[in-house]
Copies of this chain bind each other. A is one copy, B any other.
């Protein structure tokens, strides 16, 4: 593994096991029609050869039907209540859940009862207890469950992971990661949105965006944290229930430390760096979809910055899910994987309360 081999075909789908033309597309019921669904998820599903957005589910029948009429491949627009009642269940194979965190479990329960596979947005739920229940619900019904960590199929992240796994940077020694944005600028004029509501979200900046550096560190190190500490803070009144900003540290095996930062009130910025005994890989910008990712690698006297072609991250994620549902390989970011983040994030909040390191073992 060297930079040359990384440059050639950097966006290859090394995870792919089935040929798109040889499978039946996975037909999705898309649950929750907010800006992320309309702006990111539906365009990717329309474009995919391996997936189809056949059913759209919203609180409003009118909105669901209107959007179904506007979406290629969508034949049904139904309400949440109709979904729970099994409406149009012959028209989809899987559900994509992109509702407020605290509602994930109820949609998984219905999907599992209907025998549908599940792609569930991260974080899994509003707390680890419900996340475990969600996982068990899928296991008991023997349906696939994937948590939607789109960084796992982001080519830049996968190439960085290969470099680390192949010893390009020697032994990993530390990780630095961050993600920030001005949430209030984005959601204005909707200050009552669910991300600010502790009962619906479970957490603030940590749950919403801190999960990116946390989970991507796990993915790059192929390891899970053994202890965490951290601090949360809020300066704006809108963040009276959930954290506006979080700074946390996670200890991984072999005394590798990840130091992470996330804020809903700092300029948009994201990056992830793994420093090893022999070299360093850095992805920056790292997490926002609208920016071309750059991979900065260095070893010995050399350093290079590689702009990896921008892919549609949602398309990669949906196609990976379809590959795993239709093929024989199992899902990497499964329920167990998601629960690890939930427990780690809750431990960060616990550490922020106690001023201590909290063990995860």
Contact = CB atoms under 8 A, between A and B. Distances in A.
Interface string A177-190: 01010100000000
Contacts of A267: 169-170, 275-280, 298-299
A173 B243 CA distance: 13
Interface in A235-252: 235, 245, 247, 249, 251
Contact of A269 (B178, B263, B280, B357): B280
A356 interface: yes
Given A275-B269, A276-B267, A245 B174 contact: yes
A71 interface: no
A355 interface: yes
A302 to B, nearest CB: 11
Given A180-B275, A356-B355, A259 B249 contact: yes
Identical copies in the complex: 2
A192 to B, nearest CB: 22
Q: What is the predominant secondary structure among interface residues of chain A facing chain B?
A: strand
Contacts of A356: 355-357
A255 B235 contact: yes
Bin chain A's interface residue count. Answer: 35 or more
A204 B299 CA distance: 24
Interface in A197-222: none
Contacts of A249: 229, 231, 247, 249, 259
Contacts of A263: 173-174, 275
A176 B271 CA distance: 11
A149 interface: no
A261 B355 contact: no
B245 A173 contact: yes
Contacts of A169: 267
Interface string A250-285: 010011010111010111010000011111100000
9 contacts: A169-B267, A176-B261, A180-B275, A233-B257, A247-B259, A249-B249, A259-B260, A267-B298, A356-B356
List of 4 A-B pairs having minimum Cβ-Cβ separation, nearest first:
A233-B255, A247-B257, A259-B259, A173-B266
